[in-house]
Structure 1
Amino acid sequence: MKFLAPLAVTCALATTALAGVDDTLDQYILPGFDNFAKTTQALSTQATKTCRAKALRPAYQATYDAWMPVADLRLGPSETGALSVAFWPDSRGFTGRTLARLIAEKDPVAQDAEAYAEVSIAARGLLALERLLFDPDLADYRQGSYTCTLVTTIAADLDAQAHALARAWRNSYAGTLRSAGQPGNNTYLSENEALRALYTQILSSLDFTANQRLGRPMGSFERPRPARAEARRSGRSLRNAVMAAEAAHGLATALADWDLPETDAAMAKLHEAASHISDPAFQDVTDPQARLRVEVLQQAVHSLNEAIQVEIGARLGIAPGFNSQDGD
């Protein structure tokens, strides 16, 4: 009888691990990458018809929206694959300088989408496209111009990346997560390891949103840095922060097969905090009252993080205060 209780706990954890991993993959991750690939295909198709910035902006926004539910995953194919989809933060301004060089030199690499995959990640993906579609100094290009060709090629390259990620997740890495603990799986030696890996992604995403998406443009009280806001040119800074938090909440809900009332309440408070922010690009953080509203949103992200740690981490045997950056 002494062995029955520990055995029951072990079986319960194993069952939770299997259900949580499968549900997270089937309900969230795999559909997320498939949807992203559909939107990049639509964007690339539209770019071949007309590359003009104004015409492409709606498809671009839809593509970025589709990216955000899976943007902060750094597992398997996304560990490096996500970097060239959305290169940010760009602390040294590599994107602007690389695009300027390509345009100034009329580099022929822009005429070949396959060759463009070898270009610096700073000139690929969503943030490179944002520069060309929304920066007033770059977006007024003509049909048939070099910049027009560059936009079309970046869109095609982004589409190729999206489909490669979707295939890699569905055909390979999903199986690695599902087979955790089975013979031959050297990535996850137990079922609970896979569950903990996904849990870590949730907390890492919320840390990134609080510290980077919100923290970078806020800077310090004496020196705010609005120009450092993510996707500010396309007015997505607030939207990205909220969508990233929604993605973390969605992953948490899929990962857990039990109710998460504190987590749900924290998400509702986060939406409330976001509703009071008037500038979607955080360009008004130089104003103390506007900055305070972003600070309140930042605290709401921290509160969501803490609620998930309490309601999910405790079930996994991970104490609140666990550092998601440790990779443990």
Structure 2
Amino acid sequence: MRLTLVALILSLASPALADTEAVIRDHILPGQAAFSAGTRALAEAAQADCTAAALQPAYNTAFDAWMGISHLRLGPVEEAGRYQAIAFWPDARGLTEKTLRRLIAEEDPVVNTPHGYAEVSVAARGLFALDYMLYDEDFASYEAGSYSCALVQAITADLADLAGKIEAEWLSGFAETLRSAGQPGNTTYLSAREVTQALFTQLTTALEFDADQRLGQPMGTFERPRPKRAEARRSGRSLRNVTLSLEALRQMASLLAEPPPAETLAAFDMSLKNAERLDDPAFAGVETPQGRLKVEALQQNIRAIRTAAIEEVGTSLGVSAGFNSADGD
């Protein structure tokens, strides 16, 4: 009731524009820089010691950085399938495992070709290929000097190259494309309102992805839970990814609207508290009724954030939830 009243009051005022500069300066560019630095450090670590145990800390640092920007499905990351090359998930058909097994069995020399790994299937690239190589018992026991070692070095170098190019393109062009919306020569965004819509859509789409995919995939159905479909379950990151995503989205929401959207931020805070209480890092507990209930409660919390954001932030900005690019339809 309170949110509906807030939305009604806001609807009577002239719609504001998103604080695009604040989102770019304080959220997008620092996030891109952190991911670029994290993946570069990971690639350098792989050259020094490619073994799984040695790389796990740098891998988690890079993945943490990715969670700060994984909701930004616009601009350079959308070019040439880069997003999928970084984060090929969900993977219901098990293509990552199949492709990695084939590469290792054949000892495909593509790992030895400079930049050649960029031509490999996205299923064997990026963070989720590394989740297998560094944590899965069938893959992670390789030794230095082995083909798997060279494969990990190729994956990390490719990932660092992707992240570096994405950051560079934000700095050299796409940030200005957002800033210059509506100006002559900008054919991507014909008005500042289009940028507001695009940024707000990133927020609502990501919240939907957290609820429906990051939680919905392992939940499956009551009769058939699917804990093995949890994101990054091998590294035990499934819940951490949800938490980091919510933290990043909370920051973005706080920057989008002025004044800060109190109801929306309160909904974020409730979800983050409930996530902190959930002692189930890989969502293995969904196989029990009690464990599933806890994850389902968090899912409902996240859906409540999205509702609050649409009614409060969206109404104040005069925009709607928009197209969900993560659905691919």
**Could you state the TM-score of these two structures normalised by the residue count of structure 2?**
0.91
Paired residues of 1:203 and 1:324 also in contact (CA < 8 A): no
Alpha-carbon deviation of 1:268? 1.4
Rounded Cα–Cα distance in structure 2 between residues aligned with 1:259 and 1:142: 51
Taking structure 1 as reference, are residues 324 and 249 closer, same or farther at Cα in structure 2, changes over 3 Å only? Answer: farther
Alpha-carbon deviation of 1:216? 0.7
Once the two structures are superposed, what CA deviation does each residue of 1:83-141 show, in whole Å capped at 9, x if it has no partner?
11111011111100000000000000112240000000000000001100000111000
The count of residues paired between Structure 1 and Structure 2 equals 312
Taking structure 1 as reference, are residues 69 and 226 closer, same or farther at Cα in structure 2, changes over 3 Å only? Answer: same
Aligned match of 1:200: 201
1:231-242, aligned counterparts within 5 Å? Answer: 231-242=232-243
Taking structure 1 as reference, are residues 197 and 105 closer, same or farther at Cα in structure 2, changes over 3 Å only? Answer: same
1:38 aligns with 2:37: yes
Which amino acid in the other structure matches residue 26 of structure 1? Answer: R
Alpha-carbon deviation of 1:247? 1.5
Aligned match of 1:290: 291
Rounded Cα–Cα distance in structure 1 between residues aligned with 2:87 and 2:156: 13
Alpha-carbon deviation of 1:263? 1.5
Taking structure 1 as reference, are residues 326 and 87 closer, same or farther at Cα in structure 2, changes over 3 Å only? Answer: closer
Alpha-carbon deviation of 1:285? 0.6
Rounded Cα–Cα distance in structure 1 between residues aligned with 2:168 and 2:201: 23
SS in 2 for 1:284: helix
Alpha-carbon deviation of 1:325? 2.2
Paired residues of 1:231 and 1:237 also in contact (CA < 8 A): yes
Rounded Cα–Cα distance in structure 2 between residues aligned with 1:318 and 1:225: 36
Rounded Cα–Cα distance in structure 2 between residues aligned with 1:29 and 1:257: 18
Unaligned runs of 5+ in 1: 1-8
Aligned match of 2:3: none
Which amino acid in the other structure matches residue 148 of structure 1? Answer: C
Aligned match of 1:5: none
Paired residues of 2:196 and 2:319 also in contact (CA < 8 A): no
Aligned match of 2:300: 299
Deviates more, 1:249-258 or 1:286-295: 249-258
Aligned match of 2:156: 155
Rounded Cα–Cα distance in structure 1 between residues aligned with 2:104 and 2:36: 27
Aligned match of 2:65: 66
SS in 1 for 2:119: coil
RMSD value, Cα: 1.5
1:24 aligns with 2:29: no
Rounded Cα–Cα distance in structure 2 between residues aligned with 1:215 and 1:248: 19
**Could you state the TM-score of these two structures normalised by the residue count of structure 1?**
0.92
Aligned match of 1:171: 172
Rounded Cα–Cα distance in structure 1 between residues aligned with 2:123 and 2:111: 14
Paired residues of 2:257 and 2:316 also in contact (CA < 8 A): no
Aligned match of 1:116: 117
Paired residues of 1:217 and 1:285 also in contact (CA < 8 A): yes
Rounded Cα–Cα distance in structure 2 between residues aligned with 1:276 and 1:35: 28
Once the two structures are superposed, what CA deviation does each residue of 1:280-316 show, in whole Å capped at 9, x if it has no partner?
0011210110100000110111111112112211112
Which amino acid in the other structure matches residue 313 of structure 1? Answer: G
Rounded Cα–Cα distance in structure 2 between residues aligned with 1:326 and 1:192: 19
Rounded Cα–Cα distance in structure 2 between residues aligned with 1:316 and 1:260: 11
Rounded Cα–Cα distance in structure 2 between residues aligned with 1:69 and 1:326: 18
Rounded Cα–Cα distance in structure 2 between residues aligned with 1:88 and 1:299: 22
1:180-199, aligned counterparts within 5 Å? Answer: 180-199=181-200
1:78 aligns with 2:77: yes
Rounded Cα–Cα distance in structure 1 between residues aligned with 2:245 and 2:136: 24
Rounded Cα–Cα distance in structure 2 between residues aligned with 1:118 and 1:315: 44
Rounded Cα–Cα distance in structure 1 between residues aligned with 2:123 and 2:135: 17
Alpha-carbon deviation of 1:250? 1.2
Identity %: 49
Alpha-carbon deviation of 1:65? 0.2
1:253-272, aligned counterparts within 5 Å? Answer: 253-272=254-273
Aligned match of 1:250: 251
Alpha-carbon deviation of 1:324? 4.4
Alpha-carbon deviation of 1:273? 1.4
Paired residues of 2:219 and 2:225 also in contact (CA < 8 A): yes
Aligned match of 1:280: 281
Alpha-carbon deviation of 1:323? 5.0
Paired residues of 2:254 and 2:265 also in contact (CA < 8 A): no
Which amino acid in the other structure matches residue 241 of structure 2? Answer: N
Paired residues of 1:277 and 1:290 also in contact (CA < 8 A): no
Rounded Cα–Cα distance in structure 1 between residues aligned with 2:318 and 2:65: 33
Aligned match of 1:4: none
Paired residues of 2:200 and 2:319 also in contact (CA < 8 A): no
Rounded Cα–Cα distance in structure 1 between residues aligned with 2:143 and 2:305: 46
Paired residues of 1:203 and 1:305 also in contact (CA < 8 A): yes
Aligned match of 2:131: 130
Once the two structures are superposed, what CA deviation does each residue of 1:18-50 show, in whole Å capped at 9, x if it has no partner?
xx1111011000110111111111111111010
Rounded Cα–Cα distance in structure 2 between residues aligned with 1:246 and 1:113: 37
1:50 aligns with 2:46: no
